[in-house]
Amino acid sequence: MPLKYKLLRILGNFISAFFRNKQTRQKIRGYFGGNAWKEIKRSARLSKCGNFSIKNVNGQKIAESDEVNLGFIFDGDSILIAEEIFRDHEYSFDINADCVVIDIGMNIGYASLYFAMMPAVLKVYGFEPFKPTYKQAIFNFSLNNSLSEKIEAFNFGLGDQEKTLDLDYYSKSPGQMSTVKSTFDIHPNRKGETILETAEIKDASSQISEIISRHANSKIVLKCDTEGSEKEIFENLHKNGILDRIDCIMLEYHFSYDKPVIEILKKNGFNYFNQHIITLDTGDFGMIRAMKSCN
């Protein structure tokens, strides 16, 4: 047991001794014995993502910095998402031109904000099918007035056709919600902890084609992190010739879907890097980064 943790427990026991109410004493000991230590660890992780300070707004912890403000930072898997984006710079790119970013799988909006921070990014279009997650993203955008002016968010996902899905939603892990796999395939021990959500899916080619038409003179960058929908999305884009108009792709793949996606990328003239991260029970997981071949 770390020394800091032991000292916190001792402090909790000392402070609780001044209270007569048993429940109050238990709450104090519980906080110093568990929650306080968790917050210290999370704050240490957050410090590696940037020069953030924590502010309490209506009971919600907000991570503030001169560049970006992040809500829900200690909820669910938010700190992990922040690490991937702001510490590891998973979506860092420079194509030496003004561009528009299409964020498929917007989640709680951290990646969209990261893109909006880039001077060369003129506009970000984000797609998120799960309403609770979408609402968190909108809240995060409201904390960043200048950045949010660049962002247009949609509360629907993209796929191979128009459809409406009733899906189990696990609020403690919005970054791992899928529209093609059951929540219990990904979180087998979460039965009884989910709520039923209705997710709307729209045709990927129709939505992206419209965006491209609005920005005919800009490079188009596509980020895709959809927990398994990437296969049907890229099959749809390939079938309708949309990938001819995409310049750069950053894609997180799941369930070993790198293989069919890579075949599609090669057919559409992309060079790519495939970073295999881990093999899970559900298949291979990793990142693909692709650019149009220079002729």
Q: What is the mean pLDDT of residues 106-127?
A: 98
Residue 22 reports pLDDT greater than 90: no
The C-alpha atoms of residue 73 and residue 205 are separated, in whole angstroms, by 33
Average pLDDT over residues 84-113: 97
pTM of the model: 0.85
pLDDT band at 244 (very low <50, low <70, confident <90, very high): very high
> Does residue 141 or residue 22 have the better pLDDT?
141
| Confidence (pLDDT) at 99 | 98
Contact 243, 292 (CB under 8 A): no
* Distance between CA atoms of residues 30 and 40, nearest Å: 15
Interval 44-49 mean pLDDT: 90
Query: What pLDDT was estimated at residue 192?
Result: 65
- Residue percentage of the chain with pLDDT more than 70: 80
Instruction: Give pLDDT, residue 82.
Output: 95
Per-residue confidence at 14, pLDDT binned at 50, 70, 90? low
Question: Is a pLDDT exceeding 60 seen at residue 220?
Answer: yes
